[in-house]
A and B are shown apart, each in its own frame.
Chain A
Amino acid sequence: MNHIASVSIRSSTAALDVPAAALRWHNLRDVALREATRLSAILVLVLLGGVIVSLIYGAAPVLRSEGLSFFTTEAWNPVTEKFGALGPIYGTLVTSFIAMLIGIPVSIGVAIFITELCPRPLKRPIGTAIELLAGIPSIIYGIWGLFVLAPFLQKEVQPLIISVFSGVPVFSRLFAGPPYGIGVLTAGIILSIMVVPYITSVTRDVFETVPAVLKESAYGLGCTTWEVVRNVVMPYTRTGVIGGIMLGLGRALGETMAVTFVIGNAHRIAPSLLAPGTTISAAIANEFTEATGALYTSALIALGLILFLITFLVLAAARYLLLQLERRAGK
């Protein structure tokens, strides 16, 4: 028995020995795949490192001459070469905040409608329309914002907002005139439209992963649609939804062309949301080609470094948040 087995094993290895070249070839391919993928992964890290190093190198002159005040002042004067990044930082954060404030509820609402409430024949068209929105180049949003949305806001909406809130504490400062049409608020609105398709398509996809049996048992217990969404769908998909929101936030933080068109490109921090402002990416896009002088160029590169850090911090915060949520859900 033993003998036979060993023979059969030997013969089978012998049988494998015959196409040894093929085996080696397979092996080689495996090694090649492993090395190629490893190399790609390392390349990404090297590129990332290279970007950071070159940003820091480029930003060094202005950081040396301005010191920490680069991050805390809003002066941006190419004539006297006094540079401060607070204006663009403020604009970036505020426009993204407005975009999220409007974008998140709308996107999640659309996703819930498509997955839970939408009549079947409408499901496809609405889904496709949302995806098409994601495919529109940002410059088109910018042009639409400048030629359609901004004049509409200037003539119809902003005078109304200004008169409604005049006299109301805090809000009267937040919505103080004159109505330019373009400004921080308009940029935030455009951004919110741009992030909706991103958040919606991710949220819709994760909503659809909720097992039907869970939802059906909840309905069976007499839950309303609201209760099903609130207590079954949302907890089940939390991680994915936050991932979608982060994707949208990433787009909002870095969006350049559409914002440049409608934000007014002024390096100032005004209490009013109707006033013009600027964002980091808009400032770089506007000024880089004509930035004369080493310090000016360096200040713009430093802005890029700050945007890099902001994006990194946001992603890290999101990771941390997810971790906390998972830990709590685990308990």
Chain B
Amino acid sequence: MNLKKALLRPWVLAAAAAASVPAALAGDISGAGATFPYPIYSKWADAYKKETGIGLNYQSIGSGGGIKQIEARTVTFGASDKPLKPEDLEKKGLTQWPMVMGGEVAAINLPGIKPGELVIDGPTLADIYLGKITQWDDPALKKLNPGVKLPSKPIVVVHRSDGSGTTFIFTDYLSKVSPAWKDKVGSDTSVEWPVGVGAKGNEGVSGNVAQFEGAIGYVEYAYAKQNKLTYMKMINKAGKVLEPGTETFQAAAANADWENAPGFYQILTDQPGAKSWPITGATFILMPKQVPNAQDALEALKFFAWAYKNGAKMAEELDYIPMPENVVKLVEQSWKNNIKDSAGQPIWK
């Protein structure tokens, strides 16, 4: 009898625990994916929880993981920095929209060089990452920076070692500006790097750049800013020399033609316009077209609508670029058209 009791007890406890867990989590929105927007999603979630009492459980496991989880329908939404192509969306029964945008900069570590002192253009950046330019006093760099004394130091190229939306945006840009890059390497969340050392995450790349003299790396602007890294100015498609920042990122975003992009498949790199920062990208949310649980999906959509409406200032504080109003309208219209419950009725009204 005693034995039986002892055996039973853990089961009772476990059952009690199992019964109480869903109750505690009920109402929380679950999502998984990209690490790039994680800081802003968690900031929004905090504010949203204070207002509505509904929390967000977002696992920043990476874009690839986010796509896998939403395909398996284990989360209510997935997040990815690399948009899925319209045909892939169709195949997987998903719909996607841009949530927030950001810019990337080339950060360097050269003693004596101040932030924004050096200028670089796309083809030269590609040549550095191709291993064609290996010294800081290379003629190509000298030509772009007359009057700056460039040291005769080897360039330490730093790239991401993990798959990443940041890498996708960066390599997409290099592919657009350098035929050699497009031919030899191409663009994806991870690629076969011809040269350089790999580091994990935006933190890893900024850490490595800060550690090693002569280093160059690409990071999301917020990381460069927070770590006080020396960023480079860039020459954009229109041939203008630009300083990175909210203004130039927004200019690139404003040029994007979201209206005529099926599935919001739109990559913001190398946009035309005198003030468009060349390496800009959006991060995307993925949801099933036919949702398994209409209530959960509606809660998630409510959160996104709230974030579009009230989250712009918070986004700017963290150096993200909020979506322009006309795009938000398009997105909400797409919710009505695309996200249906099991009866085929739209969830967002």
Contact = CB atoms under 8 A, between A and B. Distances in A.
Interface of A: 75-80, 146-147, 150-151, 154-155, 177-183, 260, 264-267, 276, 278, 282, 286-287, 289-292
Contacts of B162: 286-287, 289-290
Given A276-B197, A290-B62, 6 more contacts: A75-B192, A79-B191, A286-B162, A286-B200, A289-B163, A290-B162
Contact of A290 (B189, B191, B193): B189
B298 interface: no
A292 B286 CA distance: 15
A147 B192 contact: no
B248 interface: no
Given A287-B190, A292-B67, A181 B163 contact: no
Interface of B: 61-65, 67, 134, 154, 156, 161-164, 185-193, 196-200, 207-208, 211-213
Contacts of B208: 146, 182
Contact of A276 (B67, B134, B198, B207): B198
Contacts of A151: 211-212
Contacts of A276: 196-198
Q: Which of A154, A177, A180, A181 has the most CB of B within 10 A?
A: A180
A151 B208 CA distance: 10
Contacts of B193: 266-267
A165 B200 CA distance: 32
Contact of B212 (A76, A80, A180): A180
Contacts of A76: 192
Contacts of A181: 211-212
A266 to B, nearest CB: 6
A78 B191 contact: yes
10 contacts: A75-B192, A154-B212, A181-B212, A260-B200, A266-B197, A278-B161, A286-B162, A289-B61, A289-B62, A290-B189
A266 B198 contact: yes
Nearest to B65: A289
B156 A180 contact: yes
Contacts of A260: 161, 200
A276 B199 CA distance: 11
B34 to A, nearest CB: 9
A276 B193 CA distance: 12
A219 B2 CA distance: 64
A290 B65 contact: yes
A78 B154 contact: no
Contacts of A183: 197
Contacts of A75: 192
Given A178-B154, A290-B65, A77 B211 contact: no
B198 A286 contact: yes
Contacts of A290: 62-65, 162-164, 189-190
Contacts of A155: 213
A291 B64 contact: yes
Given A180-B156, A289-B162, A78 B188 contact: yes
Contacts of B190: 78, 287, 290-291
B156 A178 contact: yes
A294 B244 CA distance: 37
B64 A289 contact: yes
